[in-house]
Amino acid sequence: MYVGEGEALLRNTFQRARLAAPSIIFFDEADVVAAKRGGSSSTNITVGERLLSTLLTEMDGLEQAKGILVLAATNRPHAIDAALMRPGRFDLVLYVPPPDLEARYEILHVHTRNMKVGDDVDLRRIAEDTELFTGAELEGLCREAGIVALREDISATVVCNRHFLTVKESLKPALTREEIDSYSSFMKTRSPTSSSSRVSESSVKRQMKAKKNSLAPVLSVITCFASIALLAAAKYLFVQTNQTQTELATT
């Protein structure tokens, strides 16, 4: 890739999205495009900052991205630059946890529906023994179990429980508890900002309501005086009209 080609691809992507609006732009592994500014390598800093500046400009810079929804996914949220995390850009953060027991059980069902498994295979037990496994790792577990069965017997038509156990002993989840805790801490640091904004917004509403309540008696007094003035003016006009008609009749 030549110098400046990444920025040109970003600009071209947003241009095509504007032409096809309403549209959605999805960035997978967004930490590559929107990495934090600053680092040890000057070359990486230059390329990363150019990509980030282009992304910021296209999202809400010289030309607003109206009708475009920008989504991004990453497993390194701490590597995203803070400029992209303010409201108006990536203002909503959703944490997708690893599959729980029921989700793992359903994933195993999906990846074994076209596979003939033995009667001794207990998918519920396998789901219980595969904590912290992602969906891709569960898919790999089922695929490797089929390969182990073929290695044992090239004409095998059934995948037994021992094949799953063999693969399970050699596989370890890539996700760790420390990483889950880091994701949780990231969400906790994000939540006070949103909560403080909600608190400030509610306090402003309360102040406006209090001002309206304090002005209510004054407005009622002003309305009363205005109605009295209108009645007096109407009575004065009525008297003047009667006097004019009397003078005309006397003449």
| CATH number for the domain that contains residue 18 | 3.40.50.300
Q: Are residues 31 and 69 in the same domain?
A: yes
Q: What's the pTM?
A: 0.61
- Dump pLDDT digits (tens) for 59-77: 876 566 678 889 999 888 8
Per the structure, the count of domains in the chain is 2
Report pLDDT for 24: 93
Q: Are residues 110 and 166 in the same domain?
A: yes
Report pLDDT for 141: 95
Domain edge (last residue) among 84, 114, 135: 84
Alpha-carbon gap, residue 229 to 102, rounded angstroms: 76
* Residue 37's pLDDT band (cuts 50, 70, 90): confident
Residue 201 lies in a domain: no
Q: Are residues 75 and 108 in the same domain?
A: no
Alpha-carbon gap, residue 27 to 14, rounded angstroms: 12
Q: Are residues 67 and 112 in the same domain?
A: no
- Dump pLDDT digits (tens) for 112-121: 999 999 999 9
Whether residue 160 is predicted with pLDDT greater than 70 in this model: the reply is: yes
Q: Which residue has the higher pLDDT, 189 or 247?
A: 189
In this prediction, residues 163-171 reach a mean pLDDT of: 92
Residue 27 lies in a domain: yes
Residue 216 lies in a domain: no
Domain edge (last residue) among 55, 84, 113: 84
Q: Are residues 9 and 80 in the same domain?
A: yes
Q: Are residues 105 and 61 in the same domain?
A: no
Average pLDDT score over the chain: 76
Alpha-carbon distances, residue 67 vs 25, 70, 75 (angstroms): 11, 10, 27
Domain that holds residue 111: 101-174
pLDDT above 90 covers a percentage of the chain that reads: 31
In this prediction, residues 230-237 reach a mean pLDDT of: 51
Residue 48 lies in a domain: yes
* Residue 188's pLDDT band (cuts 50, 70, 90): low
Q: Are residues 75 and 112 in the same domain?
A: no
Residue 185 lies in a domain: no
